[in-house]
Chains A and B, each alone.
Chain A
Amino acid sequence: MIFSIWKYRKFIWKSAARDLWYRYAGSSIGFLWNVINPLCQIMIYTIVFSQLMVIRIPNLPSGFGFAIYLCSGLIPWLGFSETVSRCTNSFVENANYLRKLAIPEQVFVAQNAGSSFFSLMIGMALLVAICFILGHYPAWSWISLPLVLILLQGFGFGLGLLFGVLNAFFRDIGQVVNLFLQLWFWATPIVYTENILPESLKSWLFLNPAYPFIHSLQAIIVDQVWPAGNMWAAMILLAFVFPLLGYLLLRKLRPELRDVL
């Protein structure tokens, strides 16, 4: 899998970049929409949760402090959920190519993951800008950010590959995944903080595979500390196990996959 993705790296890179560039083709400010869209989403959540439903976060300046907590979880989540939902559709979306070309299937998943990664990068740039504006300056712990984000994307790629293969056979999966992502979003402490959860629920959080990623990101950005060892272990495990599972499923079903597209 790694080899074929490496061989098609230029295609993946180019088409991912082009996808970002042309997603809003025909609109007069084109590329800028890639920035405006997440910015608006952040603003809506921030206003609703920090001004209308006020929650106080320790270690952060009051008022817009919650905005930083929110963004540190929300922006990576938006990137992650975009990765999962787009990768789930990647075979169906590229059926035209897959029916005719010998390109390995996983290349298209990687292309979607790459394109979502670009938008995640834009989101992170916005996050850093917001932190500066609100007077929350970077610390050394932020160096680990790229690594955590890459692991998060690896996990998303794996899930997307898994669902993508299934979605080719059962088209309902795509819809189910989108619904599931919404539930998952609210089941993860992103717009609310962990400590508002009752103890009984809190102890179940470790079962949420998105939790180690989101929790680590919040720790790095908000508390400016390095993620704990068990968090690293969980993230690395998830980022390797899911792509492997996805690949094994793809290898098993590959002969029939293109027949159904």
Chain B
Amino acid sequence: MIKVNGLSKKFKIYSNPWYRGLEWVTFGRKKLHQEFWALRDISFAVNGGECLGIIGPNGAGKSTLLKILTRALYPTAGKFEIQGRVLSLLELGTGFNSALTGRQNLYNSVHLLGLPREYLEDRIGDIENFAGLGDFFDRPVRIYSSGMYIRLAFSLFVFLKPEVLIIDETLSVGDVFFQQKSFAKMREIISGGTTCLFVSHDTAAVQNICQRAILLEKGEMTFIGDAVETVSRYFGTIGSNRKNRVSLEKKDKTVDELDDILMEPTEIMTHNILSGRDNRHGTGELEIVAARITDKMGQDTMQVEMLEYLTFYLLLRANDEIASPSAGIHLFDRLGNVVFATGTRQLRKTLPDLHAGDEIIVKIELKLNVQPGEYTFSLGTAEALPEESPNVALIHDRHNLLGPIVVTADYNELMPFYGIAQLPMDVEFSKVKK
């Protein structure tokens, strides 16, 4: 059982380490540090046999929270109570000495954890079996692969039968077979009454093992509840990191009326998502001055449910004569693969020729028929080169690494498809008469 009450952690940041000494000799009357609150007022409780997920973007305070709970850091304020022996996979392998064999290291780790030797002696056979390292078990850890290292450490931890188990990201290192075995083992020990905290960016794993989860953002707990909901809120926060949650007051307008408003250059400029000069290239003759992204209700967002639309409004300005210009979009998945890329030219929608100083607004509606997750995108303008192949164009302006676009889904509902993206598919049937 874990009970956390009002936990806060403040780090003092000194620009010069000796300023701390100066504070000491003035008995703190002179304040020379900056405060950084890594955690603020965190409270939750986890019961035995329950697994609580902790998710949040990098720097949200997840590791700090775990370190405090494993007593590697002291909290600035608040209390926590943990019943039973805590083992943390954060410590995974930290105690390993590369000159010793796997077996010797296990004994060493047990000493490091302050446990008696006999404790391990009863279990060493099971651990050896589970780790499946074969001859390597009695060879120096120095020659282990990183996967073997994790296997050794994880095997030790699950067989020590902790009352409270704290698991960090590390678990995703082993190969897929060992991962499956590990997750099965984790479920087994959780159902055996072990309290578990699971910190991961692998939201699918969190939803899979945890009943409940908490969402940390900038040190604050912004949500606690059902794991599935927490994950979907987590994706929501990534989308709202930018200041683009400005709701449009004119909600009751029809879509056409909305378009009239949204197609205004000043509207696009004020809700521009392009940040400036970073990640940009091109000749600059047809410039993307501003871009705005909304959902179908005209609300600024980059978060969308799968199979729903996002609308991109691009304000383009020609700095030269442009014949048959084109504007387009690339969508990239988490691994950097181009999921989809197209432009007005590919859709056979010819934009008018432009003179220097002309401005044009292009509206792109994109249906996100892709699996839930995070995507980045790029926006670009180009001019066809008639003497070249139709698939080659001159890039005028391209903004890369925009986003992230977050595609969400309700995992409790039946998914409309599985895989990377939905392809057009029709089904017909007729019952065969007997």
A100 CA to B94 CA in the complex, in Å?
8
Q: Is A202 an interface residue (CB 8 A)?
A: no
Q: Which residues of the other chain, B, contact A260 by a CB distance below 8 angstroms?
A: 17
A115 CA to B90 CA in the complex, in Å?
28
CB of B87 to closest CB in A, whole Å: 11
Q: Is A8 an interface residue (CB 8 A)?
A: yes
Q: Is B136 an interface residue (CB 8 A)?
A: no
CB of B158 to closest CB in A, whole Å: 18
> Per a CB cutoff under 8 Å, which of A11, A22, A102, A171 touches B71?
A102
Q: Is the CB of A259 within 8 A of B12?
A: yes
Q: Is B351 an interface residue (CB 8 A)?
A: no
Q: Is B21 an interface residue (CB 8 A)?
A: yes
A96 CA to B93 CA in the complex, in Å?
11
Q: Is the CB of B91 within 8 A of A101?
A: yes
A171 CA to B99 CA in the complex, in Å?
29
CB of B7 to closest CB in A, whole Å: 14
- Binary flags per residue of A24-43, CB closer than 8 Å to B gives 1, else 0: 01000000000000000000
Q: Is B11 an interface residue (CB 8 A)?
A: yes
8 Å CB interface, A90-115 against B: 96-103
A254 CA to B75 CA in the complex, in Å?
11
A140 CA to B67 CA in the complex, in Å?
54
Q: Is B411 an interface residue (CB 8 A)?
A: no
A169 CA to B114 CA in the complex, in Å?
27
Q: Is the CB of B72 within 8 A of A258?
A: yes
CB of B354 to closest CB in A, whole Å: 59
Instruction: Knowing A169-B20, A259-B11, say if A11 contacts B112 (CB, 8 Å).
Output: yes
> Per a CB cutoff under 8 Å, which of B12, B20, B88, B114 touches A7?
B114
CB of A170 to closest CB in B, whole Å: 6
A258 CA to B76 CA in the complex, in Å?
12
Count residues on chain B whose CB falls below 8 Å from chain A CBs.
Answer: 26
Closest A residue by C-beta to B117: A10
Q: Is B73 an interface residue (CB 8 A)?
A: yes
8 Å CB interface, B86-119 against A: 86, 88, 90-91, 94-95, 97, 99, 108, 111-112, 114, 117
A14 CA to B112 CA in the complex, in Å?
10
Q: Is B70 an interface residue (CB 8 A)?
A: yes
A32 CA to B36 CA in the complex, in Å?
50
Q: Is A194 an interface residue (CB 8 A)?
A: no
Q: Is B74 an interface residue (CB 8 A)?
A: yes
Q: Is the CB of A101 within 8 A of B20?
A: no
A7 CA to B76 CA in the complex, in Å?
27
Q: Is B429 an interface residue (CB 8 A)?
A: no
Closest A residue by C-beta to B92: A100
CB of A154 to closest CB in B, whole Å: 24
Count residues on chain A whose CB falls below 8 Å from chain B CBs.
Answer: 25
Q: Is the CB of A8 within 8 A of B114?
A: yes
> Per a CB cutoff under 8 Å, which of A101, A171, A255 touches B94?
A101
> Per a CB cutoff under 8 Å, which of A96, A254, A256 touches B12?
A256
Q: Is A56 an interface residue (CB 8 A)?
A: no
Q: Is B18 an interface residue (CB 8 A)?
A: yes
- Binary flags per residue of A5-28, CB closer than 8 Å to B gives 1, else 0: 001101100100010001001000
> Per a CB cutoff under 8 Å, which of A7, A18, A25, A100 touches B70?
A100
Q: Which residues of the other chain, A, contact B73 by a CB distance below 8 angstroms?
A: 258-259
Q: Which residues of the other chain, A, contact B76 by a CB distance below 8 angstroms?
A: 255
8 Å CB interface, B40-79 against A: 67, 70-74, 76
A102 CA to B87 CA in the complex, in Å?
10
> Per a CB cutoff under 8 Å, which of B11, B12, B67 touches A99?
B67
A169 CA to B112 CA in the complex, in Å?
25
Q: Which residues of the other chain, B, contact A98 by a CB distance below 8 angstroms?
A: 72
Instruction: Knowing A11-B114, A169-B20, A259-B11, say if A101 contacts B70 (CB, 8 Å).
Output: yes
> Per a CB cutoff under 8 Å, which of A18, A101, A171 touches B95?
A101
Q: Is the CB of B17 within 8 A of A258?
A: no
> Per a CB cutoff under 8 Å, which of B17, B67, B108, B112 touches A103?
B112
Q: Which residues of the other chain, A, contact B97 by a CB distance below 8 angstroms?
A: 18
Q: Which residues of the other chain, A, contact B74 by a CB distance below 8 angstroms?
A: 254-256, 258
A255 CA to B131 CA in the complex, in Å?
37
Q: Is the CB of B91 within 8 A of A100?
A: yes
8 Å CB interface, B272-316 against A: none
- Binary flags per residue of A56-84, CB closer than 8 Å to B gives 1, else 0: 00000000000000000000000000000
Q: Which residues of the other chain, A, contact B71 by a CB distance below 8 angstroms?
A: 102
A29 CA to B67 CA in the complex, in Å?
41
CB of B19 to closest CB in A, whole Å: 10
Closest A residue by C-beta to B168: A100
A153 CA to B67 CA in the complex, in Å?
33
Closest A residue by C-beta to B75: A255
A111 CA to B330 CA in the complex, in Å?
58
Q: Which residues of the other chain, B, contact A258 by a CB distance below 8 angstroms?
A: 72-74
A171 CA to B17 CA in the complex, in Å?
8
A261 CA to B311 CA in the complex, in Å?
49
Q: Which residues of the other chain, A, contact B67 by a CB distance below 8 angstroms?
A: 99-100
> Per a CB cutoff under 8 Å, which of A14, A25, A96 touches B99?
A25
CB of A22 to closest CB in B, whole Å: 6
Q: Which residues of the other chain, B, contact A8 by a CB distance below 8 angstroms?
A: 111, 114
A128 CA to B18 CA in the complex, in Å?
46
Q: Is the CB of A100 within 8 A of B111?
A: no
Of the A-B pairs whose beta carbons lie under 8 Å apart in the complex, a sample of 20, sorted by A's number, is A8-B114, A11-B111, A11-B114, A18-B97, A97-B95, A100-B67, A100-B70, A100-B91, A101-B72, A101-B91, A101-B94, A102-B72, A103-B112, A169-B20, A169-B21, A170-B18, A258-B72, A258-B73, A259-B73, A260-B17
Residues on A close to B: CB < 8 A? 7-8, 10-11, 14, 18, 22, 25, 96-103, 169-171, 254-256, 258-260
Closest 7 pairs between A and B when the two form their complex, measured CB to CB:
A102-B71, A255-B74, A11-B111, A10-B111, A100-B91, A100-B94, A101-B91
